[in-house]
Each structure stands twice: as C-alpha cells, then as structure tokens.
Amino acid sequence: MAANSSASIPALVVNQLSWRHDDTQILADISFSLTANKMLGIIGPNGAGKSSLLRCLYRYITPSRGTISLFGQDISQFHGKAFATQVAVVQQDTPQFFDMNTSQLIAMGLTPHKGMFDGYTAEDNQLINDAINKVGLTDKAFLQYGQLSGGEKQRALIARAIVQRPQLLILDEPTNHLDIRYQIQILELVKSLGITVIASIHDLNLASAMCDHLLLLNKGLLVAQGCPTEVLTEAQIGDVFEVCCEVKKHPQHAKPLINYFYGYVPQDHAKAFAVNALVSNGSEVQL
C-alpha cells in the first residue's frame, strides 16, 4: 500500500505490543496511533523501554505479542527493501564507517532506491549536497567519517536518513553528543521535513517544545500519552522520574516549561511535593 494512498489511515498503529527478553518482561501491552506528518516523542527514565519500543517499530526485534501497522499494512509484510523506502532509522550509538568520507556515508541513504548497477544522477548529488548543508556539515563533506566528532557523526547519520526520503523517520536519542544549539536545530530540522517522526528524547523541555504528541514510559508500561500539556504534569513527572518540579507555560510556544527543584532526597516524595507547593506559593523554604 502506498504511504500516501489515504489521508484517513494513521501513519502508525501499535496495538497491545509486548516484548519479553528471556524471562524478563521489557514492554507490556503498549497501544497508540500516530497521525501522518506529526512528531511523536517517547520519554521516560533510563530502563523504561524507550529503545526497545523503537527497535520493535523498525523491526530490529520481533514483539512477543501485538501488532504494528505502517500506513495500514502490518510491518512484517514488508520486504526489506520496501520497508527501507518507507522507514529510516538513526540509532543511539553511532556506528563506525572507516573507509568512507562524510559525503559517501550520506549517499548510502540512496541505497533502497537504487538497483544493483544504478549510478548517481545529478538529482541524487543535489539531494546529498542539500542534506549536508541542512545538518551543517558542508566543510566536513570530504573528511573521513571516523575523524568526525560524536555530534558530527550524529548529524551525518541524520543527513543519510534525509537522503533516504522515508515516510517515517525513527530516531533513538538524536540529541546525544550535541551541544544545545544543534539539539534545537536537529529537532527543528526533522520536524520541518514534512514526514512522520518518532524520537526518544531525554530532555523533557526539548520534547515539550518540539513534539506534537508524547508517550511516557516507565518500567515497560505506557503511563501516559497525548499532547505535551496532558503528559508533562507535575504529578506524572514526579511519579515517574522521582523529581520535584514546577510546570508553567513557556513564554514563546505556551507548551509546558519544566523547572526542577534541588536539595531534597528523591525518595522523599511527600517532602518534594511540599517544597514544590511552598515555592509555588512564594514561601521561603529551608532545606
């Protein structure tokens, strides 16, 4: 089924997905759907199951139960090359490509669209150059990939995904190794591509600002889903992340802006929320 055959079909539907590794339940009964051309952020503490969920979505692992449909078709029914024309992935750990430069790495994104003996066209070269420019690596185009910094490698992999021209882009911690300037720029870039994006994001304020919808995971369970305002509440952040915070509207985009409080024992939730209440009321607190 073509990705754009019907605007009424969600881009992605996940129904009662569970995954066990050996005797350990990693994900349990996760269900959600995502409208085409929206950006979904997956958030949660370390060990919540974020990367495992993403790996199920891009078929690196097979769920123990449940279904995943991409534009109305079960992902298990896609042949490998057909799936690669629909889904691009940027993983958390940057792989090593010792024998190619940045431009050659980015050109690998064309592979699903090429036959065995096809060469590059002028249009292909323009696509590669545009992607290099978009991620700010113009001056690194002919530098060996192995000589790039961690952040530069991540940007090169995102450029490769752009060249792949997917309908769904999946990113596992895409802002790792990036300074704040490129964290913002990369998320703004992927959001501007006009495709469906799913990204796991550690920074809750970045997730709030950039994502249309959020999934909040904890211990393999889906705790909350919805728009950032529905998910990023003080109570839910406190329960899942064991921190004390204050949530206000961001002065620019009006989505949740999270301010954290310090100097309390994380396990002492009662004290944490008491501090939050006192500070919110303008009272002076001694810790």
Q: What is the pLDDT along the chain (287 residues), one digit of tens a residue?
A: 344 444 567 999 999 999 999 889 999 999 999 999 999 999 999 999 999 999 999 999 999 999 999 999 999 999 999 999 999 999 876 667 668 999 999 999 999 998 877 888 999 999 999 999 989 999 999 999 989 988 888 889 999 999 999 999 999 998 877 889 888 988 998 998 889 999 999 999 999 999 999 999 999 999 999 999 999 999 999 999 999 999 999 999 999 999 999 986 655 555 555 555 555 555 554 44
Range 43-46, long-range pairs (CB < 8 A, 24+ positions) = 43/200, 43/201, 43/202, 43/204, 43/207, 43/214, 43/215, 43/216, 43/217, 43/231, 44/216, 44/217, 44/218, 44/223, 44/240, 45/218, 45/240, 45/241, 45/242
Using alpha carbons, select from 88, 121, 80, 125 the residue that is nearest to residue 104: 125
Note whether 244 and 219 are same-domain residues.
no
Note whether 178 and 246 are same-domain residues.
no
Note whether 189 and 273 are same-domain residues.
no
C-alpha 284: how far from its chain's center? 39
> Domain range spanning residue 37?
12-232
Note whether 262 and 184 are same-domain residues.
no
Flag whether 165 is in a domain: yes
Note whether 45 and 103 are same-domain residues.
yes
Note whether 186 and 125 are same-domain residues.
yes
Note whether 71 and 177 are same-domain residues.
yes
Residues facing 70 on adjacent strands: 12, 73
Note whether 100 and 180 are same-domain residues.
yes
Run of H or E residues at 74: strand 73-74
Give the per-residue pLDDT at 273.
56
Give the per-residue pLDDT at 120.
86
CATH assignment at residue 216: 3.40.50.300
Give the per-residue pLDDT at 4.
47
* Domain total of the chain: 2
pTM: 0.87
Flag whether 7 is in a domain: no
How, if at all, do strands 39-43 and 65-70 pair?
unpaired
Range 128-135, long-range pairs (CB < 8 A, 24+ positions) = 128/103, 128/163, 131/106, 131/159, 131/160, 131/162, 131/163, 132/102, 132/103, 132/106, 132/159, 134/159, 134/162, 134/189, 135/159, 135/162, 135/186, 135/189
Flag whether 4 is in a domain: no
Give the per-residue pLDDT at 151.
82
Note whether 151 and 251 are same-domain residues.
no
What is the token pair recorded at 114? Answer: 């090429």
Give the per-residue pLDDT at 3.
44
Note whether 194 and 284 are same-domain residues.
no
Flag whether 243 is in a domain: yes
